[in-house]
Structure formats: structure tokens, C-alpha cells
Amino acid sequence: MIRDRLDSLRVQLLVLILGSLVIAQAISLWLFVDERSLAVRAAIGAEAAGRAANVALLLDRAQDELHSSILRAADSPLARFRVDPLPVVDHLDHEAGGAIEARVRSLLASGDTREIRVELHRVEDAFAPIPDMPPHMRAMHDRMMQNRISAFELTLSIGLQDGSWLNVETRFQRPPLQWPVLSTVSFGLTAALVIGGALWYMLTRVTWPIQRLARAAENLGRGEQTMPIPAAGPREIRNLTETFNLMQERLVRTVADKTRIMAALGHDLRSPLTALRVRAEMVDEAETRDALITSIEEMQDMVERTLAFARGMAISEPPETVDLADFLANLKQDMLDEFELETNAPLLIRLRPHSVRRALRNIIENAVRYGGDVAVRYSQEHDRVVIEVRDHGPGIPSAQLESVFEPFYRVETSRSRITGGTGLGLSIARSILRSHGGDITLLNHPNGGLLVKLDLPLSQRFTHQERTGL
């Protein structure tokens, strides 16, 4: 079921559009989150650098006995300030902290050339406070962070005027991912508008014209003459529709012309054959007269059957939806119970009743003539109906199973019309079945006899339309 839905052009286009929207929106969100993370991280780093610069200025200008008070006031759960003889940052390579150093220098006095060292790195373990944090600050930190958020650690060493160093250790969390509500709403509205527009376009301009064209092609293959399809949709579909209409017109005209030619030929042949029959009746010698009359009757019968074959190829009878069980039961009654019928559950099928009845009659009559007892059964295989006609005769040589469908081909080699027929019955039957979108195959049954399989499309779509009145 899922595979069948995915085979639909409509579903594939929708999946493509929706997938493209999701990917584009995901890339946009990723870029937005990354830029936001960088911006917030830079802001937090700049704030810490600003505090460090201000503390350094205060320490330079304040008396020594005030230094401890200034450092205590600057401390926080995530930042620790202290003055040491040596810098904590023991290297000068701090490319990652260039912006932070620039921030510190911008807050110092112009021309201040004191040394500033910066180290910025990511803390791989869970977010933790700076070492040696007082107990009350650690408790505050635990309540704020719950030890679940990873962090970045920033260490600053700023030289003071008295030769000591202000060492600042601070940590700040990675900015948490916040799903942007406006972006979500924007994505939903965009997806709804695009999918709605795509559905409308595909239904009205693409898939419906294609489905209508497919139904018309199926009807034409089944022998149902349809009206020309209005050209709609994109240019390619309009060209395809116009080409189909032209093809349908040519096919119908060709079949109709051939049928008229065959009818005219049969009509023209009847007159000379009738004249020959009259002249044959005037022959005095009985043996010669009877031979001539037999030949003329055989020619007349061949003409009639040839015309019947041509009419079988013509598209004239309108299709109907019938119950196959009742249809076969009526045929059995009309043929005076010449065959056994195995009935199953009722099965609706769309066909041209008179044509199919004629095809079945030809096949069953052949089976009765050459095979004796005949059994007919039907079954449903997916969206097809299979009618089986089996006799218990000698069968047909395997090499001739396909040749018997050729017009005027007879397995029985005599020239008698009584024992061999004209060789048109199976040809007419196959022509009728193929005009319905089906076919006929012959098989020699393993237990003896010939098995004829008639395959027809069930066409449930059309029977549903008829049942619902659509």
C-alpha cells in the first residue's frame, strides 16, 4: 500500500516539495542558532573583559588596604578575581582571545601598554564553578546551573602598575538552544501555502489531465469509443492530449473504413454467388449439380463468417456492467446446457455483452465439437477475471497452440465445413477479447483435453462509478 502511494506522481511531488522546505528551514535554523550562539558568547566574553578592565583600573588607583574589598566585590558565582605575583596565563599565544584583549585595552587609558594575556577554551565535562569557590556561592551556582550545562572558560591575566598580576577566571555557559517561535510559525505558514498551491496546481493542471488521459486510453484499448478530451494543463500535457485525440480519431476511422470495405465486399460477393447458385440448380447431372451447390454454400458461409469477423473487430456495442455468474448462467441456458458451469460468488465486470457472448459461444462450441464434455469456471486474480473452458478431447499439438488463432487456420485438415469449420471462430474470439483489453491462451491440460483461458480486466473503477451514479 505504501509503495503504491509513493508511486503516485502527486505524492512524489509533495514529498519533494516538503522535503526541500524542511531541509531549507533546517539549514536556516542552524545558521540562526550558530550566529546567535556566537553573538551571545561574544557578549558574555566582552562583559567579563569589561569587568576585568574596570577592576584593574580600580586596583591601580586604590590604596593597597582596599584591594581585598575590591576583589571580593568583583567576585561572583562564575567569576573569580585575585591578585598574584605571577600571571595564571603562562603563554602569549592567545589568538582566540584577540577580541577580548581589544575590549580590555579599549577600556584602559589611551597609550596604556601593559601586558594582557588571554586564554579561552571549552570545558569538556559538565558545567562546574571555578575552583575554590566559597560554599555560599557554590550553593547559588548549583541552584542556577544544576551541573548540567557545558561551558567555556575564560582566563585573563592583566599586568598592574605595581608589577603584580590581576588574574581573572570566569566561566559562562554555552547559550542554550531556543526554538525560535516566529521561525516555526513562518515555516508552517510557508509550508501550508506552498503545499496548498502545489496541490491545487497538480490536481487541476497535472495529475487530473493525466488521469483523464489514462482512463481514455484504457477505454480505447477496451474498445470503448470516447469523446475527444479537452486539452488542459501545461503545454506538454496539452500536446499529449491533442496527439491522443488525433490517434483515437485515426484508429476509429481506420477500423470503420475496414469494416465498411468488408461489408461492401460481402454485399458484392452475395450477388454473383446467388447467380452461381441459380445456374448450378440448372445443371442436369445430379452429381455435378450437388458438388457445385456444396462449393457455393461453402463460399457463402465463408463470406458470412468473414463479415462476422470484421464486425467483431468493429467498435459499435456500448459496454455494460454485468454479473459474470448470471451472464454465464444465461449463456448456459441459451446453449441448452451443453457445458457444466462452476459458479462462484457474484462478480461485477464491465464488457460488451453480445460480443463476449459470441466469443464464448465460439469457444464452447469448438470444445463441444472436438472435446465432448466441457466445464466452465471463472475466478478473480487481482484486478483481472479469468474464465476457463476445459474439454476432455485430444487437445492440440503444442506447435499449433498459437497458430489456431490465425484466420482460416484449421487443425482438422479435411476440407469439410462440418468437421473442420472455417477456422475463424478462435480468431473472432481473440479479436473480441483483445478489444476488451484481455486475451485468450490455449493450454493442453495435464490430465488430458484442452484448457482455454479467457483473461478480462475487472475494471472496478467503472463499476463503482455505475453503482454510485457518477
Average pLDDT over residues 354-383: 88
The pLDDT assigned to 3 comes to 60
Indicate the average pLDDT of the chain. Answer: 76
Same-domain pairing of 189 and 102: no
Q: Is residue 223 part of a domain?
A: yes
| 385 lies in the same domain as 399 | yes
Query: Residue 205 domain-assigned?
Result: yes
**pLDDT greater at residue 339 or residue 310:** 339
Residues of the chain with pLDDT > 70: what percent?
Answer: 73
| Predicted pLDDT of residue 2 | 60
- 326 and 312, same domain (yes or no): no
Same domain, 163 and 104: yes
pLDDT, tens only, 125-145: 544 555 566 676 666 656 655
Instruction: Output the pLDDT for position 451.
Output: 93
Q: According to the model, what pLDDT value does residue 414 have?
A: 43
Residue 179 covered by a domain: no
pLDDT given for residue 141 in this prediction: 58
Residue with cell 503545499: 195
Predicted confidence at residue 15, as pLDDT, reads 76
Q: Do 169 and 45 belong to one domain?
A: yes
Does 267 lie in the same domain as 135? no
Number of domains in the chain: 3
- How many C-beta atoms lie closer than 10 Å to residue 151's C-beta? 20
- Are 194 and 273 contained in the same domain? yes
Q: Is residue 16 part of a domain?
A: no
Provide the pLDDT for residue 119: 83
20-29, 267-276, 454-463: which has the highest mean pLDDT? 267-276
- So what's the pLDDT on residue 30? 67
Q: Yes or no: say if 67 and 59 are a contact pair by the CB < 8 Å rule.
A: yes
Same domain, 448 and 332: yes
74-121 pLDDT, tens digit per residue, is: 887 778 888 999 998 876 665 555 777 787 888 887 778 888 888 877
Q: Mention every residue, 6+ apart, whose C-beta is less than 8 A from residue 161.
A: 60, 114
Are 203 and 146 in the same domain?
no
For range 1-17, the mean pLDDT: 67
- Is residue 309 a part of any domain in this protein? yes
Q: Residue 430 sits in a domain of what CATH number?
A: 3.30.565.10
pLDDT attached to residue 468: 31
Q: Is 1 a member of any domain?
A: no
One domain, residues 469 and 364: yes
- The pLDDT of residue 79: 80
Q: List 122's β-bridge partners, or say none.
A: 152
Where is the domain boundary, 146, 173, 200? 173
The reply to whether 22 falls in a domain is: no
Range of the domain at 411: 317-470
Please say which residue of 292, 316, 340 terminates a domain: 316
Residues 449, 304 share a domain: no
Q: In the listed set 113, 142, 173, which residue is the last one of a domain according to the structure?
A: 173
Q: Do 303 and 322 sit in the same domain of this protein?
A: no
- Residue 464 within a domain: yes
Q: Which amino acid is at 159?
A: G
Residue 38 has pLDDT above 60, yes or no: no
Going by pLDDT thresholds of 50, 70 and 90, the confidence category of residue 324 is very high
pLDDT higher than 50, residue 463: no
Over the stretch 261-307, which tens digit does the pLDDT of each residue have?
777 777 677 778 888 888 888 888 888 888 888 888 878 777 776 66
Q: Encode pLDDT of 216-256 as tens digits.
A: 887 776 666 678 888 887 888 888 888 988 888 888 787 77
Q: What pTM did the predictor assign?
A: 0.47
